[in-house]
Amino acid sequence: MEWIKQALDRARDERGHSSDANSRQAQKPSRGSHVKAPAEQKVVYSQTRRLNISVDHLRQNRVISGLSDPIVQQYNMLRTHVVQRMRANNWRSLAITSPIEGAGKTLTAINLAICLAREVNHTVLLVDLDLKRPRIRQYFSDEDLPGISDYLIEDAALADLFFNPGVERLVVLPGHKSLIHSSEMLSSPKVVSLVDDLKNRYPARIVLFDLPPVLACDDVLAFSPYFDSVLLVAEEGGTSKADLKRSIELLEKTEIIGTVLNKSRHNRQGYSYY
């Protein structure tokens, strides 16, 4: 899909970013600078809920459940691209979105988070900020677990909402109830304060935000000041050139780390990265 690469290149050119500028930016100190976690350090979850997740449940939902999964290598390649770009630019947070619904952004966010967490240099926090249609929890469990909406609306204790899905170095902050006024909530002082804490509490943490589709509502634009970069997920045969182009235009002031093309006919795993 050469047109995807051309659209991304054009967007980068219009922002006036050059490789020299990126190099200078990477050399600047940042509060988001990556600090490697000690390789021998084992994460102990003494307060975070640990879910006993069925492997069959994960497989039914196409979530990576082991190193033998056919899609693992493709997500490992995506992980490498993402980590290299984030380290080069001192980025700590990544939003995952798509132009329209049905492209597979949430599953991409989950599987990317799992592969990222398998590296010992950092921990990973996956946050469901698709407040209108929170779905991350369903990929892991059929339980009616509390989530971020309970914290935002009912002042639930934040510590009671996180769970570990059985993957070391990965913690999930799920959604729960659908929130109608989601864009206003995403730019509220309570969310801004929460996100700042999530990104900066641990120096070796990468935070992934699963956000709604760009063209479905204004949530991504409202939240864009609070993430470092964004990954676009498109579906071959489902995402039109016009929708992808419009999404890139709307995200012109953000750092687009790349585009994932799901269900690609040009890749036997149904996945490509640009």
Q: How confident is the model at residue 6 (pLDDT cuts 50, 70, 90)?
A: low
Structure token pair of residue 208: 């992934």
Residue 36: the pLDDT is: 53
Q: How far apart are CA 251 and CA 238, in angstroms?
A: 20
Residue 78: the pLDDT is: 94
Residue 267: the pLDDT is: 55
For residue range 234-243, list pLDDT tens digits in order. Answer: 998 889 999 9
Residue 15: the pLDDT is: 60
* Domain over 2-25+49-273 is classified CATH 3.40.50.300: yes
Query: What integer is the mean pLDDT of 7-18?
Result: 58
Residue 54: the pLDDT is: 86
Poorest-confidence range of 33-42, 48-57, 115-124? 33-42
Amino acid type, 140: F
Instruction: Report whether pLDDT(2) > 90.
Output: no
Poorest-confidence range of 24-38, 142-156, 159-173, 186-200? 24-38
Q: How confident is the model at residue 71 (pLDDT cuts 50, 70, 90)?
A: confident
Structure token pair of residue 233: 């997920």
What are the φ and ψ backbone dihedral angles of 31, each rounded to 5 degrees?
-65, -15
Percentage above 70 pLDDT, the chain = 79
Residue 52: the pLDDT is: 87
For residue range 157-206, list pLDDT tens digits in order. Answer: 999 999 999 999 999 999 999 999 999 999 999 999 999 999 999 989 99
Average pLDDT, rounded, for the chain: 85
Type and span of the H or E element at 208: strand 205-210
String of DSSP letters for 89-121: HT--EEEEE-SSTTS-HHHHHHHHHHHHHTSTT
For residue range 106-117, list pLDDT tens digits in order. Answer: 999 999 999 999
Domain boundaries, the chain: 2-25+49-273
Residue 85: the pLDDT is: 96
